[in-house]
A and B are shown apart, each in its own frame.
Chain A
Amino acid sequence: MLFNSLEFLAFLIIFLGLWPLLRRQRNRRWIGIVAASFFFYGWWDWRFCFLLVGSGLVDFFAAGAMQRYPQRKKLLLLVSIAANLGTLATFKYLDFAIDNLNALLPALGIDSQLAPMRLMLPIGISFYTFQSMSYTIDVYRGQIAPTRNVLHFFAYLAMFPQVVAGPVVRASSMLDQLDAPVCPTERDRWEGLQLMVRGFFKKMVIADGLAPLVAAAFDNTTVVPSAAYWWIIMAMFAFQIYGDFSGYSDIARGIARWMGYDFPLNFNHPYLATSFRDFWSRWHISLSTWFRDYVYVPLGGSQRGVWRSHANLWATMLISGLWHGAAWTFVGWGAVHAACLSIERITHWPRRLLALPGGRHAAALVVFATVLLGWVFFRATSFAQAGTVLAMMFGTHGLNTAAVHQLLHWRDLVPLAIMLLYHGWLHFDPPLPRLHWAGPVLQPAALAMLIWCCVYLRGPGNAFIYFQF
């Protein structure tokens, strides 16, 4: 069930309508959340629910056993991690491994080829396995106590606003919230509504409006020979993926806020970053911090010397790239960011640039342009295509603005212009008069206008990009 569908709208109205009856009593609350979440998740394919239940039960019992048999908790943690990573490897990476093995076999003098398994990829598997894994790791580290109620656990793991595409919510914050009595205020509901509407606008108007143009550019068999065209297309893709993913996060956070819960901030205007470190503290924050806490720090972080810290950084970024998709292009994307972070650590260029007049603008521009180059690997279907697009962007066939006029209508540029103007406004942060008195009138009017835009200016209804991860 997509957030941007009529069936979800009906589902949400019914659920939020029943919520005041469900939220008062603990068990009823958990049963309500679990039932709604499995209905929501099973809407795609009911068979997916079994994997979610299986994966969750392993971690629920492993965490419980850790408390009961502390001397065996390392073994139990290994079982839990093996089960989670095994599931992920089977459903997401098996065919990728087989394809690579098949490419290697002839070099080893073996003629036969392995047949790919073509297993269906359950939606959101990368998100809920990471969330479930963090629960057992936190219990192992003694940072949280395991819950004894399986409904409590599944209300956390499968909670419908975030089960398929995050934010990756930590058990340490969510289990307590789900346990305590919840009583959303009028302010919670208002903030929830604002978040939901902003999220729908980002997804339906911005991301879906840009999606067909980016798809047409990358699906085309003949690459358009124009630097101007490809920089615009990549800027469109940057805001498409941002609108798509941060839109989903905003909707998820908005629903949670309406229910009286707090999900962590997942995106904090990443394209305003003035360094790559800054970028990763603003982009997909819940996943970045997950990788920091459960991969980078356990590897030694920056505590074991300069070279080791760079090696840890590279390992984390390459794994993060592979998490996004079972293809080498995603690893390439991770490598671009790892290289940028490494260079930044060695040269400290952002600090030096920021000290110069206008340095903040220059730093933001450099980071944004480099991020666009990185997105080429993320969006391209092969390194060959990425190479061709990058060559065009670096002007091997000239700027060729005529291609822009020919291939893009002015209306195509409207979503991009909205996002660039909005980010520009935030970046320059002009001193605007504070209109406290007008807030109660302007805010509902602005929000109603955004709802109108979602209804009438929505783009083609595409699924969320991050569902595939």
Chain B
Amino acid sequence: MKRLMQYRIACTLTLAVLLIGATALRRGADDGEALKADLFWAQKLSWRAEASCVIAGDSRACRALVPNVLDKTHSRRRTLNFAFDSSGYSAAYLNAIEAVLDPHATERIVLLGITPYSLTPTALATNEFEYRRNWMPFQSMAGLYAKQSLRYVHPMRVDQAYDDLIAAMPKAATNAERDREFHDDGWLAMNRHDGRENVYAEHYRASFEGNTVDSEIVEQLLQYVRDWREKGIRVIAFRPPVSEIILSIENEYSGFDESAFRAAFEAAGGRWIDIEPTRYVTYDGSHVGREEAERFTANLAKNLASLPIERVFADSSN
């Protein structure tokens, strides 16, 4: 025992290295997926003055809009999908959207995917954009790639630790992650086709309990639209694909009045495009898979092309 006391520092450090090594081996495979997601979101956060067209919104816009399809109709346009899961239109997010736009582009467009949830206080308080912005320990992409070498000591949340290390079926929770395909232009393609459109209905209804569309958030968004219009940025909004069940839940419980919002949005200088969001097959009631995303974006591109041309040259003072 006395000898053990003498070597307790060495014992502690050896034990710590063994524990960390064992953990790294146990969760090594899943970590690759987690790291891919980290790199995807971090790359989005690193975009500055890169696009002439920026797609914004929550997970629905993130999965439903394919920049590549939008750019096919316009050779000089560079579109990036800057949507984040559960994202609300906070001032920080709206500022970040503008920062992604290239001030020297001849035409600058912001495409806003409007969902009732994105205009609620909860969406502003907890969302992927804020979470990732606070989380990323590395500021540069070089740092992010350096991080790949640290994948084995990638941090995890407490519940994730339970799934990865203790729960009997650690892989079960990651099936959904395996369906994801991360694209450099910010599109998150989902290779899912299961049409379980009712499965999240109750969850959606509950998400609006004490959390309805906030008039201050709407007014703030409209103020940004006015400011952007003054800067020569075209602002176009649409409702992303959704099943009829979820749409009726949203309309009944969220306090969102689409026609009133549309009128106020257009009065602020924006343009609303109606592309019948319920015409697309969703895999969970509110998100579309790869093929439907391409179909939806192609339709949106057609609508965009039919809009009157409004070419605005960037102000040199920007």
Contact = CB atoms under 8 A, between A and B. Distances in A.
Interface of A: 186, 189-190, 193, 211-212, 215-217, 219-222, 224, 400, 402-403, 406-407, 409-411, 414, 437, 440-441, 443-445, 447-449, 451-452, 455-462
Contacts of B232: none
Contacts of B13: 448, 451
B155 A406 contact: no
B210 A403 contact: yes
Contact of B5 (A440, A455, A456, A461): A440
12 contacts: A219-B92, A220-B121, A222-B124, A402-B209, A406-B210, A407-B125, A411-B157, A456-B156, A457-B155, A457-B158, A458-B155, A462-B134
Nearest to B127: A216
- Which are the 5 A-B pairs with shortest beta-carbon distances? A448-B15, A451-B16, A461-B137, A444-B12, A448-B16
Interface in B1-30: 1, 4-6, 8-9, 11-13, 15-16, 19-20, 23
Given A212-B135, A414-B158, A457-B161, A190 B8 contact: yes
B156 A406 contact: no
Chain B CB within 10 A, most for which of A402, A440, A443: A440
Contact of B20 (A221, A444, A452): A452
- Most B-side CB within 10 Å, residue of A215, A219, A409, A441: A219
A440 B211 contact: no
Contacts of B5: 440
B155 A212 contact: no
B25 to A, nearest CB: 13
Contacts of A437: 1
Given A221-B124, A224-B121, A443-B8, 19 more contacts: A190-B8, A212-B130, A216-B130, A220-B124, A221-B220, A402-B209, A406-B210, A411-B158, A411-B159, A444-B11, A451-B20, A452-B16, A452-B20, A455-B155, A456-B20, A457-B158, A459-B155, A460-B134, A460-B135
Interface in B201-232: 207, 209-211, 214, 216-217, 220
A403 B8 CA distance: 47
Q: Is the interface of A mostly helix, strand, loop or mixed?
A: helix
Interface string B121-150: 110111000110011110000000000000
**Most A CB atoms within 10 A — which of B12, B15, B135?**
B12
Contacts of B6: 186
Contact of A445 (B15, B23, B92, B158): B15
A407 B126 contact: yes
Contacts of A217: 125
Contact of B210 (A211, A400, A462): A400
Contacts of B157: 411, 457
Interface string B98-128: 0000000000000000000000011011100
A216 B126 contact: yes
A462 B133 CA distance: 11
B91 interface: yes
Contacts of A460: 134-137
A407 B131 CA distance: 13
Nearest to A194: B12
Nearest to A216: B125
A217 B90 CA distance: 13
Contacts of A447: 12, 16
Nearest to A449: B19
A222 B156 contact: no
A244 to B, nearest CB: 15
B123 to A, nearest CB: 11
Nearest to B15: A448
A245 to B, nearest CB: 20
B58 to A, nearest CB: 16
B153 interface: yes
A179 B38 CA distance: 50
A397 B261 CA distance: 28
Contacts of A443: 8, 12
Nearest to B90: A221
Contacts of B131: 212
Contacts of B90: 220-221
Contacts of A402: 209-210
A375 to B, nearest CB: 20
A452 B91 CA distance: 37
Nearest to A400: B210
B20 A455 contact: yes
A215 B90 CA distance: 14
Contacts of B1: 437, 440
A402 B210 CA distance: 8
Contacts of B19: 448-449, 451-452
Contacts of A186: 6, 9
Contacts of A444: 8, 11-12, 15
Nearest to B210: A402
B137 A193 contact: no
A120 B13 CA distance: 40
Contacts of B156: 456-457
B9 A406 contact: no
Contact of B8 (A222, A440, A462): A440
A221 B91 contact: yes
Nearest to B206: A406
A32 B4 CA distance: 33
Contacts of B210: 400, 402-403, 406
A222 B212 CA distance: 12
Contacts of A455: 20, 153, 155
Contacts of A211: 134
B200 to A, nearest CB: 16
Given A216-B130, A444-B11, A444-B15, A222 B214 contact: yes
A198 to B, nearest CB: 13
Given A186-B6, A221-B91, A452-B19, A193 B12 contact: yes
A237 to B, nearest CB: 15
A447 B15 CA distance: 9
Contact of B125 (A224, A440, A448, A456): A224
Interface string B141-177: 0000000000001011111010000000000000000
A62 B23 CA distance: 56
Contact of B9 (A193, A224, A449): A193
B125 A452 contact: no
Nearest to A223: B121
Contacts of A456: 20, 23, 153, 155-156, 161
Most A C-beta atoms less than 10 A away, residue of B15, B134, B211: B134
